[in-house]
Amino acid sequence: MIAAGGGIAAAIPLGIFLKNNMDEQDTIQIASARAIREPIRADGGMHEIIRAATLAANSHNTQPWLFSYSGSQLHIAPDFSRRCPAVDPDDHHLWISLGCASENAIQAASASGLSGHVVTNHNGVTIHLEKMVLSTSHLVDAIPLRQCSRTQYDGKPVASDVTVALQQAGMLSGVELHLITEPSQKKKIAEFVAAGNSAQMDDERFMQELIAWIRFSDAEALHTRDGLWTRSSGNPTVPRWIGARLLPLVMTPQSANDQYTKHIDSSAGVAIFSAPSATPEGWVNVGRAYQRFALEATHHNLKHAFINQPYEVATLREQFVSAFNLGGRQADLIVRYGYGSVMPYSYRRPLSQVIVKVG
């Protein structure tokens, strides 16, 4: 599942741990994560474009990418050492993550007077950059502010002109976007999500993989600079030895399903993205389309979070496609959106760990 800052990932229900009060150290920790999200600079060159790319949504915040560049070409390779085989056995989410990073890179490049053309193959994504007339875009400004907020929203509807802007932003390179706002349809989505979540929580491999990527303590999050930091989902931090043992006891399928139902009901709508093909190229295009949607949503002060269980649980896929008339296409990404609170931002690894080749 994509959970970046949030990202493709299972949300930890709010309230499953005892609440604690933020102290001075908490404030410092959150500020250190926020510092990596300074505004995108137009004069930062390729490293600034790559920094923007790393702020994209990605599966379990695994950051499954490696960057190299030479001249006017930027290459983003999949880092299969960071794949999630239990939740993402076909690397569908991994390739979507590369698409998200690609779109951020293209948007950041535009601020430097460069346009980007994307080519995808089994080796990854290559972005060919060319000079163009310098332009400004609100999407660039939204790059460091975008996050997945896995919390309850306020239930307010989105104005029609904003809905049109979201629809336009999320349709790219053959990707189809369906926006679901009718309460009975949202309820139906919640039922699919609950069924998928129950199946995943009964899967020992899935739970082990999820726990492996959760960063229960501030020190752990700062050390790895990846994974699902509990603060980002609204939970207090605890030592790993406590969190890993406590989580299966307090996060039951029923408690998680109740939380998902409340979250979806509180959302203004649900966005369903469908790729033109079940291939790395199709998935990259979905990632790019979603990222544009997410940046547009951020511009309008909307939050969003992933609810991808109906795709991740294979037995639910065709039922979901039929229930929502997707014309035979898969629901490659499912995203709820609405007005909600800003959460602590997740970490990203330093560029020195993700740039593998220059020149």
Q: What is the mean pLDDT of residues 108-136?
A: 93
Over 70: is that where the pLDDT of 3 sits?
no
Q: What is the CA radius of gyration of the chain?
A: 19
Q: What is the mean pLDDT of residues 236-246?
A: 92
Beta strands in the chain (DSSP E): 65-70, 73-78, 114-121, 124-131, 176-180, 214-215, 228-229, 269-274, 303-306, 333-338, 355-358
On whether the CB atoms of residues 278 and 95 are closer than 8 A, the answer is no
Which pLDDT band holds residue 6 (cuts at 50, 70, 90)? very low
On whether the CB atoms of residues 153 and 304 are closer than 8 A, the answer is no
Over 70: is that where the pLDDT of 261 sits?
yes
Domain 24-358: which CATH number of 3.40.50.300, 3.10.180.10, 3.40.109.10, 2.70.150.10: 3.40.109.10
Q: What is the phi/psi pair of residue 173, to 5°? A: 50, 45
> Which amino acid makes up residue 269?
G
**Rounded to whole angstroms, what are the CA distances from 241 to 194, 211, 247, 252?**
28, 11, 10, 19
**Rounded to whole angstroms, what are the CA distances from 172 to 61, 228, 270, 291?**
24, 29, 18, 11
Which pLDDT band holds residue 189 (cuts at 50, 70, 90)? very high
Over 60: is that where the pLDDT of 139 sits?
yes
- As a whole-number percent, the residues of the chain with pLDDT over 90 amount to 82
Cα separation, 248 vs 65, whole angstroms: 30
Residue 131's DSSP bridge partners are 114
Over 80: is that where the pLDDT of 352 sits?
yes
Cα separation, 197 vs 232, whole angstroms: 20
Q: What is the phi/psi pair of residue 123, to 5°? A: -85, -10
Residues 6+ positions from 152 with CB-CB distance below 8 Å: 14, 262, 263, 266, 340
Q: What is the mean pLDDT of residues 167-178?
A: 96
Tokens of 321: 């496609």
H or E segment at 223?
helix 218-224
Average pLDDT over the chain, rounded to an integer:
91
Residue 357's DSSP bridge partners are 68
Cα separation, 73 vs 333, whole angstroms: 28
User: Which pTM value belongs to this model?
Assistant: 0.92
DSSP calls for 17-52:
S------HHHHHHHHHHHGGGPPPPTTSHHHHHHHH
pLDDT for res 24:
56
Over 80: is that where the pLDDT of 238 sits?
yes
Q: What is the mean pLDDT of residues 124-153?
A: 93
Q: What is the pLDDT of residues 287-343, one digit of tens each?
A: 999 999 999 999 999 999 999 999 999 999 999 999 999 988 999 999 999 999 999
Whose CA is closest to 95, among 285, 313, 335?
Answer: 285
Alpha-carbon 58 to chain mean position: 5
Whose CA is closest to 183, among 209, 211, 155, 203?
Answer: 155
Q: What is the mean pLDDT of residues 137-166?
A: 96
Residues 6+ positions from 205 with CB-CB distance below 8 Å: 85, 86
